[in-house]
Amino acid sequence: MEKKSKSILKIFLLAGFILTAVILVRLTPIMTYLTPESLGGLLEKAGFWGPLVFIGVYVAGVCLFVPGSLLTGLGAAIFGPYWGFLWVWIGAVIGAGAAFVIGRTLGRDFAASLVGDKLRKYDDGIERNGFATVLYLRLVYFPFTPMNFGMGLTKVRFWDYLAGTGLGIMVGTFIFTFFIGTLKDVWASGNWGELISFKVFFSIALFVLSFFIPRMIKKVKELSFRNSGNTK
């Protein structure tokens, strides 16, 4: 009985945390500071520690349900396509891990109490194939923040989750930061002739390609299932 009471208390704490995060983002001026000008000025003052400050902002943003596309775009606009990718990727992985820990600590016990015999096999399956499951969901662009907290409610191992996340978001993160960072570099240089450069066309091609990645991944998975079924 005491264990059940604790699990209920934790799920209320998780719900309270999520509600507070949504209120902070939606009903306070916090979003006004998440612009290239405001955040860039803060990072410039931080000097050498600027990248670490940005990573901290990204991690906090992920846990507070700030859209990942906004945070990623800011990183690309401030640091450029290459350093932007690195700092964004690190921040996203750490942020995903932090949100997972919050979900696991506050919500797992309650979620486990709701898992019946029919759902338990899926929960056990996620535990056995955690890395592959997380990798697949990241590659098909499953909503980032809900997945971070949601996976914490399952039996997936933390390091399987973190490795699957780190690898799974790498391609999409690079494409998006390369696209935004390249356009930002052209804008900053004022040389509009660079809009017809190979780098710009390449970034646009990658960006367009990114929308087809989930479909391609699903097709590959369907084919693999068919082939495995035919061999049996």
CA–CA separation, 182 vs 204, rounded Å?
9
What was the pLDDT predicted at 206? 72
CB 102 within 8 A of CB 63: yes
CA–CA separation, 130 vs 134, rounded Å?
6
What was the pLDDT predicted at 77? 92
Residue 149, amino acid: F
What was the pLDDT predicted at 195? 61
Decide: pTM greater than 0.85: no
Per-domain residue ranges of the chain: 1-29+44-225
CB 58 within 8 A of CB 95: yes
Token pair 């356009």 is found at 183
Name the token pair of 227: 């082939």
What was the pLDDT predicted at 2? 64
Token pair 């901290």 is found at 56
Task: Give whole-number Cα distances, 51 to 72, 77, 90, 112, in Å.
Answer: 13, 13, 10, 38
Query: How would you class 198 by CB atoms within 10 Å of its CB: exposed for 0-12, middle for 13-18, buried for 19 or more?
Result: exposed
CB 90 within 8 A of CB 55: yes
CB 127 within 8 A of CB 117: no
Name the token pair of 182: 């390249």
* Residue 82: closest CA among 174, 202, 169, 168: 174
Question: Which regions in the chain score pLDDT beneath 70?
Answer: 1-4, 112-119, 188-200, 210-211, 213-214, 216-232
- Which tens digits make up the pLDDT trace of 61-105? 999 999 999 999 999 999 998 999 999 999 999 999 999 999 999
Token pair 């087809």 is found at 212
CA–CA separation, 51 vs 88, rounded Å?
9
